[in-house]
Amino acid sequence: MTTPGTLSISRVMIFARDARKVAEFYRDKLGLAVRGEIGDGWAELQAGGCDIAIHGGMKKGTKERGPGSMNMKVVFGCRDVAKKRDELIAMGVTMFKLSEFPHETKDLMVQICDGEDPEGNLFQISNRNSL
């Protein structure tokens, strides 16, 4: 239960040059459900307890961003990160190295892997919350 004044995440916003293309990526490649319709300037997708909003507010011609240069990253949970990584690569998604490290409280391994959407925004798949 949250106490008065406690904040909780309701939406993560990604600014995009082509909101439609980025929203279609999250729908078609990561399997997120679209709330309403995908528009040229706005789309909302369901991602468990938090929505992802794609905002078409990044102006065309804005300086290109490279991997790791943004100030946020959307993390998606899944039980088998290696399998999901292979599935995404097979669909043409840019995925980086799979990393494993011991979970801090259990005798289990945490797996994480970063990937990129069509505009270079980083996202991550992780089994951390499913251990």
Neighbours of 92 (CB within 10 A): 7
pLDDT at res. 25: 97
The pLDDT of residue 3: 60
CA angle 74, 75, 81 (to 5 degrees): 140
Residue type, 63: K
Each residue's pLDDT tens digit, 3-53 = 666 767 778 989 898 999 999 999 999 999 999 899 999 999 999 888 999
Beta bridge partners of 72: none
> Under a CB-based contact definition with an 8 Å cutoff, are residues 50 and 10 in contact?
yes
Say what the pLDDT of residue 4 is. Answer: 63
Spatial CA neighbour of 48 closest among 28, 70, 31, 29 = 31
46 DSSP β-pair partners: 33, 51
- At residue 62, the pLDDT reads 52
Evaluate whether 57 touches 103 at the Cβ level (below 8 Å).
no
For 87-128, the pLDDT digits (tens) are: 999 999 999 999 998 877 667 889 999 999 999 998 999 998
Looking at residue 67, what is its pLDDT?
47
Which tokens belong to 83? Answer: 């399998």
**What would the pLDDT profile of 63-93 be if each residue is shown by its tens digit?**
555 444 445 789 898 989 999 999 999 999 9
